[in-house]
Copies of this chain bind each other. A is one copy, B any other.
Amino acid sequence: MSEHIVKAYDDDLASLTSMLAQMGGLAEEQLARSIDALSRRDTKLADRVIQADEKLDAMEVAVEEKAILTIAKRQPMARDLRVIMVAIRIASDLERIGDLAKNIAKRSHAIYDNIPRRLTKGLERMGELSQAQVKLVLDAFAATDDAKALEVWRHDEDIDALYNSIFRELLTYMMEDPRMIGACTHLLFAAKNIERIGDHATNIAENIYYLVNGEVLKEQRPKKDKTSVTPFSAVNND
């Protein structure tokens, strides 16, 4: 490639990276606000989160289009191609994090029961963990730091473990007081959404690993979310 083309290509990559950083910032903010809206039942804040989600959708499309045009114009090979592929995937994960945050925000409209503080406390804690994971993985991407990415990847089991315990606690609570079933169901779905946000952070971590090492991460991630295979009648054999 001529120097001119190399320069133009570097500009394309830099602009992709900056688009992703911007998208990551917005996804982080949406996540933080959605947890805040849910735990304080702040429906006005929830509405702002719901409205702002469109921006993330538009940003994903913009990243995708920029990525595809860059490939078509510059015909990059090997590592450069990886950068672009990874950009498309990370944009998709960030867009999904936004969708999940929007869904969490929506549920703050539905929970007007007097839910015991300790139940929403658990969700807030899960929210904090997932926010920290998203922040760390975006830092790892900005620094192309695969060691930091692996750290995120390993810590996802903390979120899964907390999800398990909240899942059980919510079910127990529903059994003790069936009037709370409606509200607790929304909390269950919100907890599941946060757990999945954690999974998207690990997806991004895996992509950073791939970007740096040119091969996919082979190690099996320790999985602690066992809720989908746990029969809960055990909790409940009266």
A residues with CB within 8 A of B: 64-65, 68-69, 71-73, 75-77, 81, 84-85, 88, 92, 103, 106-107, 109-113, 171, 174-175, 178-179, 181-183, 185-186, 188-189, 192, 228-236, 238
Ordered by A's residue number, 25 sampled pairs between the chains whose C-beta atoms are within 8 Å are A65-B85, A68-B71, A71-B72, A88-B88, A103-B228, A110-B232, A111-B231, A112-B233, A113-B233, A171-B181, A174-B181, A175-B179, A175-B181, A178-B178, A181-B181, A182-B232, A182-B233, A182-B234, A182-B235, A182-B236, A185-B188, A186-B228, A186-B232, A188-B188, A189-B228
A236 to chain B, nearest CB (A): 5
Chain A interface, DSSP helix/strand/loop, else mixed:
helix
Task: Please give, as numbers and ranges, the residues of chain B lying within 8 Å of A107 by CB-CB distance.
Answer: 228-229
- The smallest beta-carbon distance between A59 and chain B, in angstroms, is 15
A178 and B175 form a contact (CB under 8 A): yes
- Nearest 8 interchain pairs by C-beta: A182-B232, A106-B228, A71-B71, A175-B178, A110-B231, A109-B229, A174-B181, A72-B75
> What's the Cα separation between A64 and B207 when bound, in Å?
14
Q: In the bound complex, do residue B233 and residue A179 qualify as a contact, i.e. CB atoms below 8 Å apart? A: yes
- Alpha-carbon distance A163/B2, docked complex (angstroms): 58
Given contacts A64-B85, A68-B84, A192-B189, contact A112 B231 (CB under 8 A): yes
Q: Report the separation of the CA atoms of residues A11 and B84 in the bound assembly, to the nearest whole angstrom.
A: 24
Whether the pair B171, A231 counts as a contact (CB closer than 8 A) is no
Shortest CB–CB separation between residue A196 and chain B, in angstroms? 10
- Whether the pair A81, B68 counts as a contact (CB closer than 8 A) is yes
**Are A85 and B110 in contact, with the CB atoms below 8 A?**
no
In the complex, how many angstroms separate the beta carbon of A120 from the nearest chain B beta carbon? 15
Partner of A106, one of B175, B178, B183, B229: B229
Q: Do A109 and B178 form a contact, CB below 8 Å, given A71-B68, A81-B72, A88-B88?
A: no
**Complex Cα distance A62/B165, Å?**
37
B228 engages A178 (CB within 8 Å) = no
Q: Which residues of B contact A189 (CB under 8 A)?
A: 192, 228
Assembled-state Cα–Cα distance A77/B231 (Å): 53
A176 CB, nearest partner CB in chain B, Å:
8
